[in-house]
Structure 1
């Protein structure tokens, strides 16, 4: 089981992002998420993390795959990726500072721009496919790093475990 979760909260053509206050990737825009607690499923973790970091309750996050990475030739690490839609009334008082960072709506085109160096470097690799819940199947978006440099990416089929089994696993 992986240690982390991340969610992209969508409203129209925008995504609620956080400019990270802490490392890793301090100062970069990223999705909302965090570490799984003992005995917690990835789905329950992302519901809890979104609530703790934003004050927004999501009930049915959609599992969109995994983002895995090999940092400096170490064993692979990774996170479960989810997407959820939010309503405008949940997005009041933005931008807003929290203990984790600054929350703000960002357009998908801004996030995916090749000229944008303000996001976590893996986002441009997987975000467009993750957000396309109608046409793209969940996958393992694998990244290899050399230090902080993203040196290789590949899209892999998910392991044999079904999405249902993965989300219900304790």
Structure 2
């Protein structure tokens, strides 16, 4: 099975985190942490800065690794490095997602997460 390596930004602001709903593809409308594929020659942190600039027109600072999620979708294996991130410059503009929300600890289960992303929620809850 093919492995796809991606990165995800858990953007935190006070006691809330930023989540987006996919605007395209098989999982359209399901919620995820913004990010994307790591390209050849990039570190995960460089990929995350680039992806957030492309998806949200925002500059972020990448912090600590929260976890690496390993998840088997039907047609591929996903390896997702998830980092705490802070906005450094710009406002979060949705260039690819169909919707976004700032979620408090109590609201984290109010959205329908992608299967791999929901595995991160418990770890995040301990830090909000």
Same fold (TM over 0.5): yes
Larger radius of gyration: 1
Give secondary structure in 2 for the equivalent of 1:9: strand
C-alpha distance in structure 1 between counterparts of 2:58 and 2:117, whole Å: 22
After superposition, the CA RMSD in angstroms is 2.8
Q: Flag the 1:97–1:52 CA change in 2: closer, same or farther, 3 A.
A: closer
User: Which structure exhibits the higher relative contact order, with contacts defined as CA atoms closer than 8 Å and separated by 6 or more residues?
Assistant: 2
1:67 positional shift:
0.9
Per the alignment, residue 109 of structure 1 pairs with 106
| Ranges in structure 2 where 5+ consecutive residues have no aligned partner | none
C-alpha distance in structure 1 between counterparts of 2:94 and 2:59, whole Å: 18
1:24 positional shift:
4.2
Give secondary structure in 2 for the equivalent of 1:47: helix
Give the strand-richer structure, 1 or 2.
2
User: Does the aligned pair in 2 maintain the 1:65–1:82 contact within 8 Å?
Assistant: yes
User: Does the aligned pair in 2 maintain the 1:47–1:57 contact within 8 Å?
Assistant: yes
Matched, 1:76 2:81: no
C-alpha distance in structure 2 between counterparts of 1:69 and 1:84, whole Å: 22
Q: How does 1:1-170 map to 2 (within 5 A)?
A: 3-72=5-74, 76-86=77-87, 90-91=90-91, 97-111=94-108, 113=109, 116=110, 118-130=112-124, 132=126
1:51 positional shift:
1.4
What TM-score do the two structures reach when normalised by structure 2?
0.77
| Ranges in structure 1 where 5+ consecutive residues have no aligned partner | 134-170
Give secondary structure in 1 for the equivalent of 2:48: helix
User: Does the aligned pair in 2 maintain the 1:47–1:61 contact within 8 Å?
Assistant: no
> What are the superposed Cα offsets for residues 117-141 of structure 1, whole Å, 9 maximum, x if unpaired?
52223444322314646xxxxxxxx
Q: Flag the 1:125–1:38 CA change in 2: closer, same or farther, 3 A.
A: closer
User: Does the aligned pair in 1 maintain the 2:62–2:83 contact within 8 Å?
Assistant: no
Give secondary structure in 1 for the equivalent of 2:103: strand
